């Protein structure tokens, strides 16, 4: 049997998205050339953010947001230093090749990773404890129902095809030793 081939139509929304993305990249390229010294520091300094964005598989990209926020906090003093002095490529290269600057910038991103790890651990622990408490509450409620209505509501008593408890053991089961 031959299967019908589906013909995909290009939507206008996809074309608009492509045009707007191209326009945005063009604007970034022009601004990057115009402010080349700042762009150099940003590209080198924000490498941990780029890595976190591509490594983070969660739909909300929480790791990328956390690492990015701390990474930007680490790079800000050096950008301000560049902007308040002469904003030349020589000054940008001096900042980039300063080991202390790179250590501060990348350490700030590392703090973002630690924050993400610690918050994830705390939330997981909280959710686990909540689940344990909920399980305990359900078991207590189940014990109350068994006490009030009898062992038939526990789910451990064999039932017939209509849902009534059997008075005698099921034919294929061996009787319990007394």
102-134: pLDDT as tens digits: 999 999 999 999 999 999 999 999 999 999 999
The pTM (predicted TM-score) of the whole model is 0.62
How far is 113 from 66, CA to CA, in rounded Å? 7
How confident is the model at residue 168, as a pLDDT? 63
Share of the chain above pLDDT 90, in %: 39
Q: Where are the alpha helices (DSSP H) in 12-61?
A: 12-34, 36-45, 47-55
Do 116 and 66 touch, CB atoms closer than 8 A? yes
**Which range marks the domain in which residue 42 is found?**
36-119
125-174: pLDDT as tens digits: 999 999 999 999 999 999 998 888 887 777 787 878 887 777 765 556 56
Find all residues with CB under 8 Å of 101, minimum gap 6, and list them.
78, 95
Number of domains in the chain: 1
Do 49 and 66 touch, CB atoms closer than 8 A? no
Do 64 and 52 touch, CB atoms closer than 8 A? yes
DSSP character at residue 88: -
Is residue 24 included in any domain, yes or no?
no
């Amino acid at each position: 049997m031959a299967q019908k081939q589906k013909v995909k139509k290009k939507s206008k929304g996809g074309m608009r998205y492509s045009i707007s993305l191209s326009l945005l990249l063009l604007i970034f390229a022009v601004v990057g050339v115009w402010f080349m010294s700042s762009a150099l520091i940003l590209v080198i300094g924000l490498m941990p953010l780029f890595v976190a964005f591509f490594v983070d598989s969660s739909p909300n990209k929480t790791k990328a947001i956390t690492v990015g926020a701390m990474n930007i906090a680490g790079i800000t003093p050096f950008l301000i230093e560049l902007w308040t002095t002469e904003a030349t490529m020589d000054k940008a290269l001096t900042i980039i090749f300063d080991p202390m600057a790179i250590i501060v910038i990348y350490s700030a991103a590392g703090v973002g990773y630690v924050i993400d790890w610690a918050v994830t651990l705390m939330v997981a622990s909280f959710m686990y404890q909540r689940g344990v408490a909920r399980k305990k509450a359900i078991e207590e409620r189940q014990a109350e129902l068994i006490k009030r209505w009898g062992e038939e509501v526990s789910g451990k008593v064999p039932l017939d095809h209509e849902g009534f408890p059997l008075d005698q053991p099921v034919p294929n089961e061996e009787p319990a030793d007394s």
